[in-house]
Amino acid sequence: MSERQVELEILRYNPETDDEPSFQTFQVPCPEDWVVLDAVNYVKDNLDRSLSYRWSCHMAVCGSCGMMINGEPTLSCKSFLRDLPEKIRIEPLANFPIERDLVVVMDDFMDKLGSVKPYLVPAEQKSVENGEYLQSPAQLKKFKQYTLCINCTLCYAACPQYAHNEGFVGPAALALAHRYNLDSRDVGRSARQDVVASNEGIWECSFVGACSDVCPEHVDPAGAIQQTKIASTVDYFKDLLLPGRHR
Amino acid sequence: MEMITTDIVIVGAGGAGLRAAIAVAEANPNLKIALLSKVYPMRSHTVAAEGGAAGVAKDNDSLDNHFNDTVTGGDWLCDQDAVDLFVEQAPKELTQMEHWGCPWSREPDGGVAVRPFGGMKVERTWYAADKTGFHMLHTLFQTSLQYPSIERYDEFYSTDLLVVDGQCRGVAAVEMRSGQLRLFRAKSVIIATGGAGRIFPFTTNGAIKTGDGMAMAYRAGVPLKDMEFVQYHPTGLPGTGILITEGSRGEGGILVNKDGYRYLQDYNLGPPDPWPRKKAMELGPRDRLSQAFWHEAQKGRTIDTPHGDVVHLDLRHLGEKKIDERLPMVRDLAISYVGVDPVHDPIPVRPVVHYTMGGIDCDIDAKTRLNGLFTAGECACVSINGANRLGSNSLTELLVFGARAGRGAAELAESTGSHADETAIREQAQTAQNRVGKLFQSVGGGESVSGLRREMNTTMEAGAGIYRTEQSLSESCAVMNDIRRRFANIELEDKSNVYNTDLVQALELGAMVDVANAIAVSALNRKESRGSHQRLDFEDRDDKTFLKHSLAHYDANDDPSIDYRDVVITRSQPGERVYGGDQK
């Protein structure tokens, strides 16, 4: 298999020794079918054992290995060298604090994911002995797309609103709330509205759509947020016209 | 060393660990749970399971059918009391997942849909397109967020069990963010850390599957059971080892050799038609299919590629609509990683290390012989999988036995009066402290983590692959012994504290070399062929001598000692495994 030499410029930062991040360059001989993650693994195994980054599945489903690759938030396991120039710049995901090298601090994202109550709130508890809730393929299809988020946080790295206001609940968490709101088995929407329809929720989104552009699973969080806005606006006018209405 | 006191420690936050945590929270909301994982829960390898989860769902099926398929598939090395419990609990656990929101694929009437799977007589595999593990993991994780008693410790690498007066009373773990060792004091502990496929070079397993929990329990005196049984999945992508689900064949996909011939008919799995047909041809069990590939390669009837021999998995006759509806990820993976669109061309595939049937010895209550220690999921061996696991039994297993481990650990914590003495816990933690500390010292041994890992990978593939011999296994045992000795000469290049992955990889390698040693020695001692363990020098199954579980007992300085325990046989006497034929 033919090989080519690739130059990786990797942003390095060790908080124990460095005042600020700086780039380090590595020359890596790469077979033509490699992804960026393979090249980074080559560096780790052969050139510099101290390089830190997250990865696991190598098949774009665990969501660990997001990086800025030539300025774009990308899963490094699905970013093929054949589609990239000889020089590749690799940085940690934008809009997150750097913990070490390509590892970013995930706390804020994890808190936001939990804040939208992303779990099923059934109308009535059913025992397992009574079998499953029925749900037609059409009802499933209504929310299925929004179940596909792998929590890779590329959308937060791409989001201009999150860059500007870290209080913004953000694309993945809002899309997940939307997923449960749309589920025919769920009645938890009003409990989620506190966060979803707050000032830091859907109204903060300016619908640039960068989140949907970078989403490796085509979840379309921008679309989810737009749909949520419409539903919340309908709520608002209903409340105005029908005060005391129970939602 | 900071000490955190809780009621129950769960190590591993994949499917089994999360299911256990929820079971504890539901059993008693006053019990504090510390859920530790070296990764964020959503990264756990449950996420990569594709095809589905087995559980009797429809009127055309029965618990007896599921029992018989599982026991036969496991070549009678399954404990039948455990299998009975498993098949009985399976539909309940899968329904529970539905109640928690898991987006199972549906029938037109709104009921849950099931698909056929290898070695299963009736279709009973619940699925969520071809991302079943992903949806189960995320459903469990999201569900777990509503229980305040579950306190997560994400990115904590557990190194040692803390055993006081013969009771497992906690865990020592490195907080990766700070590099500091933390002590968790508890009344019971559950290990749910998954398998160890990374011992081999070509595997479907993610980088995190390094046998950490198996090694922890093993070093603390709990034997590893049936470690010689390593499953090769018949259809991985060449080069990367990415899994192409058995669901592809469940939906009707076929395997052909370089001549376009459905070669499985030559290996007691035919006749090829009518197709599709349960428990025949491409819907035979994984061990038989991977072994058939090996023979085809010996005969020169496979296709040579830069990444090794392959055969073709042909889905074209399913059509684009069905492929997109049932197997969207398979299509995406094939296009991305091998440049083949299965709508138009067959996918090149080859057998790939996928699953460890063996694991931490435990009983049907998920209890180990170490008081206070429970285990569930791939790291455990209860044993429902015997010598060969049937596809789609493992996702169900982690639910059934994860929940059981959680309930057992909760009961024990409730009935345990006081915590272990702090001084005793700290004394126990010294072993962990020493082992981690030693890696930072200058030993001048010149061994590197990546170098030793490569040597381990090479010898395990060469000696303990699909077919094994006395000679190949002796060689692997000798090399693994040497690698274990040389591991002491590892010196970290990275001596910093914050998110030190050189340290974590060294600890992972330490776990893998101990577990790999147990695999090789257990395999060398099993002088018969059964399920996934095939010996070219002992071609037959030998029930007289080996209808027994192997138990490998840890020895810090030498190969493990191996002894045996009888398999629990209740109502299915060992017989011939028959697949194919035209009766089905």
In a domain, A62, yes or no: yes
Look up the CATH number of the domain holding residue A178.
1.10.1060.10
Question: Is residue A156 included in any domain, yes or no?
Answer: yes
User: Which amino acid, B59?
Assistant: D
Tens-digit pLDDT profile for residues B464-473: 999 999 999 9
Mean pLDDT of B439-458: 90
The per-residue pLDDT for range B349-386, each reduced to its tens digit, is 999 999 999 999 999 999 999 999 999 999 999 999 99
Q: How confident is the model at residue A243 (pLDDT cuts 50, 70, 90)?
A: confident
Verify whether the Cβ–Cβ distance A49 to B207 is below 8 Å.
no
Long-range contacts of A121-126 (CB under 8 A, 24+ apart): A121/A180, A121/A186, A121/A187, A121/A188, A121/A191, A122/A185, A122/A186, A122/A187, A122/B99, A123/A187, A126/B99
Give CA–CA dist B339/B303, Å, rounded: 17
Q: Are the beta carbons of A120 and B497 separated by less than 8 Å?
A: no
List the strands of the sheet with B180-185, edge to edge: B2-5, B180-185, B167-175, B156-164
B381/B363 Cα distance (integer angstroms): 8
Residue B168 CB coordination number (10 Å):
27
Q: Are residues A119 and A153 in the same domain?
A: yes
Residue A210 phi/psi, 5° resolution?
-60, -35
B232, B290 contact by CB (below 8 A) = yes
For a pLDDT cut of 90, what percent of chain A falls above it?
89
Query: What is the number of structural domains in chain A?
Result: 2
Average pLDDT over residues A203-218: 94
Sign of CA dihedral B27, B29, B31, B32: positive
For the record, the structure tokens of B125 come out as 């595999």
pLDDT for the residue numbered B320: 98
Is A132 close to B111, i.e. CB distance below 8 A?
yes
Picking from A1, A2, A38, A62 by the largest number of B CB atoms within 10 A of its own CB, the best residue to mutate is: A62
Pair A98, A20 in one domain: yes
Mutation target vs A (from B43, B244, B490; most A CBs, 10 A cutoff)? B43
Rounded to whole angstroms, the Cα distance separating B130 from B347 reads 16
**Chain B 181-240, residues with CB within 8 Å of chain A CB atoms:** 206-208, 239-240
CB burial string A26-54: b at 16+ within 10 A, e below: bebebeebbbbbbbbbbbbbeeebbbbbb
Q: Which residues contact B249 (CB under 8 A, 6 or more apart)?
A: B118, B235, B255, B282, B283, B313
Distance CA(A23)–CA(A90), nearest Å, equals 9
In this structure, are A100 and A146 located in the same domain? Answer: no
State how far residue A242 is from chain B, nearest Cα, in angstroms.
Answer: 32
A244 class by beta-carbon count within 10 Å (0-12 exposed, 13-18 middle, 19+ buried): exposed
Please check whether residue B499 touches A, CB under 8 A. yes
Written as six digits, the tokens of B31 are: 């019990």
For residue A245, the model assigns a pLDDT of: 60
Calculate Rg over the CA atoms of chain A. Answer: 21
pLDDT in tens, B388-419: 999 999 999 999 999 999 999 999 999 999 99
The minimal CB distance from B43 to the residues A16, A44, A62 is found for A62
CA gap B534, B551 in Å, rounded: 18
H-assigned helices in B299-356 = 319-326, 328-338
What type of residue is B197? G
Residue A246 within a domain: no
Rounded to 10°, the helix B132-144/B393-415 angle is 20
Residue B177 contacts A, CB cutoff 8 Å: yes
In a domain, A135, yes or no: yes
Q: Over the stretch B239-262, which tens digit does the pLDDT of each residue have?
A: 999 999 999 999 999 999 999 999
A229 shares a domain with A218:
yes
Residue B458 in contact with partner chain A when CB distance is under 8 A? no
Give the β-pairing of B224-225 and B548-553: antiparallel
Amino acid type, B438: K
Cα–Cα distance for residue pair B85/B403, rounded to 1 Å: 13
Mean confidence (pLDDT) of chain B: 97
pLDDT for res B443: 73
Residue of A nearest to B14 (CA): A62
Q: Is B180 on the interface with A (CB under 8 A)?
A: no
Secondary structure (H, E, C), B157-211: EEEEEEEECCEEEEEEEEECCCCEEEEEECCEEEECCCCCHHHCCCECCCCCCCC
Same structural domain for residues A111 and A100?
Answer: no
Please check the confidence at residue A157 and state whether its pLDDT lies above 70: yes
- Residue B72: strand, helix, or coil: helix
| Out of B103, B208, B333, closest to residue A56 by CB | B208
CB-CB under 8 Å, A147 with B103: yes
Could you give the ipTM of this predicted complex?
A: 0.97
- Measure in Å the smallest separation between the Cα of B126 and chain A Cα atoms: 12
Using CA coordinates, name the residue in chain B closest to A79: B336
Sheet containing A3-12: which strands, arranged edge to edge?
A22-31, A3-12, A87-91, A66-69, A72-75
pLDDT digits (tens, 9 = 90+) for A107-151: 999 999 999 999 999 998 899 999 999 999 999 999 999 999 999
Cβ–Cβ under 8 Å, residues A143 and A183: yes
Of A56, A59, A101, the CB nearest to B43: A56
- Place A1 in a pLDDT band, splitting at 50, 70 and 90: low
Q: Taking CA atoms, what residue in A is nearest to B46? A: A62
Q: Which residues of chain B are within 8 Å of residue A112 when distances are taken between CB atoms?
A: none
The answer to whether B427 and B4 have CB atoms below 8 angstroms apart is no
- Of the candidates A41, A69, A104, which is a domain's last residue? A104
A60, part of any domain: yes
Residues A61, B145: C-beta atoms closer than 8 Å: no
Per-residue pLDDT tens over the stretch B152-177:
999 999 999 999 999 999 999 999 99
Question: Residue B276, preceding bond cis, omega within 30 degrees?
Answer: yes
Do residues B128 and A157 touch, judged by C-beta distance below 8 A? Answer: no
Residue of A nearest to B237 (CA): A59
Catalytic residues of B: 233, 249
Q: Which of B104, B336, B502 sits opposite A78 (nearest CB)?
A: B336
Cβ-based contacts of B145 with chain A (< 8 Å): 113-114, 117-119
Give the residue-averaged pLDDT of A170-198.
96
* pTM of this prediction exceeds 0.90: yes
Work out whether strand B167-175 and strand B156-164 pair parallel, antiparallel, or are unpaired.
Answer: antiparallel
Q: Calculate how close chain B gets to A105, using CA atoms only, in Å.
A: 9
Whether B43 and A144 lie within 8 Å, measured CB to CB: no
Are A126 and A225 contained in the same domain? yes
Residue numbers of the domain that contains A199: 107-241
Q: Which of A73, A104, A135 is the last residue of a domain?
A: A104
Domain of A16, CATH number, reads: 3.10.20.30
Q: Is the pLDDT of residue A246 over 60?
A: no
Interface residue B242 vs chain A (CB under 8 A): yes
CA distance A47 to B52: 40
pLDDT of the residue at B74 = 98
DSSP for B251-307 reads: TT-EEE-TTS--GGGGGTS----SSS-TTSGGGS-HHHHHHHHHHHHHTT-SB--TT
- Tell me the pLDDT tens digit for each residue of B310-346: 999 999 999 999 999 999 999 999 999 999 999 999 9
B553 contact partners, CB below 8 Å, separation of at least 6:
B221, B223, B560, B561, B562, B563
Residues A40 and A142 in one domain: no
Q: What is the pLDDT of residue B116?
A: 96
Contacts of B143 in chain A (CB under 8 A): 119-120
- On whether both A61 and A112 belong to a single domain, the answer is no
Instruction: Give CA separation, B584 vs B23, B65, B179, B250, B352, in Å.
Output: 39, 13, 58, 15, 29
Q: What percent of chain B has pLDDT over 90?
A: 97
Q: Is the pLDDT of residue B583 over 60?
A: no
Inter-chain touch B103–A185, beta carbons under 8 Å: no
B58 at interface of A, judged by CB pairs closer than 8 A:
no
CA-nearest residue to B207 within chain A is A56
- Torsion region of B59: left, alpha or beta (phi above 0 gives left; psi -120 to 50 gives alpha): alpha
Q: Is the pLDDT of residue B220 over 90?
A: yes
Set of chain A residues whose Cβ sits within 8 Å of the Cβ of B498: 14-16, 99-100
Contact at CB, B92 and A106, closer than 8 angstroms: no
Q: Same structural domain for residues A54 and A33?
A: yes
Inter-chain residue contact B207 with A53, CB threshold 8 Å: no
**Residue B454, pLDDT above cutoff 80:** yes
Strands B33-37 and B150-154: parallel
Rounded to whole angstroms, the Cα distance separating B94 from A132 reads 9
Q: How far apart are CA B472 and CA B456, in angstroms?
A: 14
pLDDT at position A124, please? 87
- What amino acid is encoded at B272 in this protein? P
Q: What pLDDT score was predicted for residue A237?
A: 86
| Average predicted confidence (pLDDT) for chain A | 95
Based on the fold, state whether residues A72 and A132 are members of the same structural domain: no
Contact B131 A183 (CB under 8 A): no
CA-to-CA dists, residue B33 to A101, B13, B27, B250, B419, angstroms: 32, 12, 12, 39, 14
A56 lies in some domain? yes
Q: pLDDT band for position A244 (50/70/90)?
A: low
- Distance, in Å, from the CA atom of B424 to the CA atom of B78, rounded to the nearest integer, reads 39
For chain B, domains (ranges, CATH) are 2-231+355-426 (3.50.50.60), 234-352 (3.90.700.10), 427-557 (1.20.58.100)
Q: Which residues of chain B have a CB within 8 Å of the CB of A40?
A: none
Contact (CB, 8 A) for B554 and B221: yes
CA dihedral A210, A216, A221, A222 (to 10 degrees): 30
A220 and A116 within one domain: yes
Chain A contact set for B499 (CB, 8 A): 52, 99-101, 103
Whether residue A247 is contained in a domain is answered as no
Three-class SS state of B95: helix
**Residues in B touching A78 (Cβ below 8 Å):** 336
pLDDT band, residue B584 (cuts 50/70/90): very low
- Same domain? A73 vs A138: no
Please determine, for residue A240, whether its predicted confidence score (pLDDT) is greater than 90: no
CA angle B253, B269, B245 (to 5 degrees): 30
Query: CB B207 to CB A58 under 8 A?
Result: yes
Rounded-to-integer distance, Cα B405 and Cα B305, Å = 45
Crossing angle (nearest 10°) for helices A221-241 and A189-196: 110
Residue of A35, A59, A195 to mutate, interface with B, max B Cβ within 10 Å: A59
pLDDT bin (cut points 50, 70, 90) of residue A206 is confident
Q: Does B101 touch chain A (CB under 8 A)?
A: yes
Looking at residue B443, what DSSP letter applies?
-
Domain boundary among A76, A104, A132: A104
Interface probe with B: pick from A103, A142, A147, most Cβ of B within 10 Å: A147
Query: Is A127 among the domain residues?
Result: yes
Q: Which of B56, B99, B304, B495 to mutate to test the interface with A (most CBs of A within 10 A)?
A: B99
